[in-house]
């Protein structure tokens, strides 16, 4: 179901990586696909761009900056957190 790489928020090189096809974005913590066994079988990934980040262990300011850039520049259909 993944249509792009990387999926981790920090190394995503540009807004166009996740928004070039104007798909909805799913933003999730790193651990969710492991903890939620149906993550790949549900509608979370189909026709969505995926971004992952750890709200507890990663750099909050860096993630805030990257997400702000994505939200300002991308013409998103939706963002699911």
Identify whether the C-beta of residue 33 lies closer than 8 Å to the C-beta of residue 39: yes
Please tell me the total number of residues recorded for the chain in this structure: 81
Per-residue pLDDT of the chain (81 residues; tens, 9 = 90+): 677 778 888 787 766 666 555 678 888 888 887 778 788 776 778 778 888 888 788 888 988 888 888 888 877 778 888
List 25's β-bridge partners, or say none.
49, 79
Q: pTM (2 decimals)?
A: 0.73
E strands, the chain, in order: 25-28, 49-52, 79-80
Burial 30-45 (b: 16+ CB within 10 A, else e): beebeeeeebeeeebb
Domain boundaries along the sequence of the chain:
15-80
């Amino acid at each position: 179901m993944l249509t792009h790489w990387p999926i981790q928020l920090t190394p995503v090189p540009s807004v166009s990586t996740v928004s070039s096809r104007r798909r909805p974005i799913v933003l999730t913590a790193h651990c969710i696909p492991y903890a939620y066994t149906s993550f790949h079988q549900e509608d979370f990934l189909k026709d969505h761009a995926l971004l992952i980040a750890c709200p507890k262990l990663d750099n909050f300011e860096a993630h805030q900056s990257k997400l702000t850039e994505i939200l300002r520049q991308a013409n998103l259909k939706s963002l699911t957190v």
